[in-house]
Amino acid sequence: LMLKNSIYSVISPEGCAAILWRDSNSASLAAVALRLTSKDLKKLNIIDEIIPEPRGGAHRNLDKVAKLIKKSILKTLDELEQMDYKELKLKRIKKYEEMGIYKE
């Protein structure tokens, strides 16, 4: 689960640009290369769902975004509770294997 306008990355775009191009001013280039938006991560199957945000962004209506997050979490928990443990485990393994090359 991820809010629509949030980002996820293990390094800041500035840090990435400084390492790759020795120029932190290339942060916008690095941000594109990092694929850190919710849309990118959904396409890569890293996240399962994008949680919509209120008009203007989550920070404009904290109560509404909290309700949207709660609704998504409860829906996801309900779906997970319906699954057999073995099915859930296999689905999770498959998801992680598809994120990259699996080596034992």
Does the pLDDT of residue 97 top 90, yes or no? no
pLDDT of the residue at 22: 93
3 within 8 A of 38, measured Cβ to Cβ: yes
Q: Does 38 or 45 have the greater pLDDT score?
A: 38
> Which three-class secondary structure state does DSSP give residue 93?
helix
pLDDT of the residue at 14: 94
Whether this prediction's pTM lies above 0.85 is answered by: no
Please compute the mean of the pLDDT values over residues 92-102 and round it to a whole number: 78
How does residue 81 score in pLDDT terms, banded at 50, 70 and 90?
very high
Residue 1 has a CB neighbour count (10 Å cut-off) of: 13
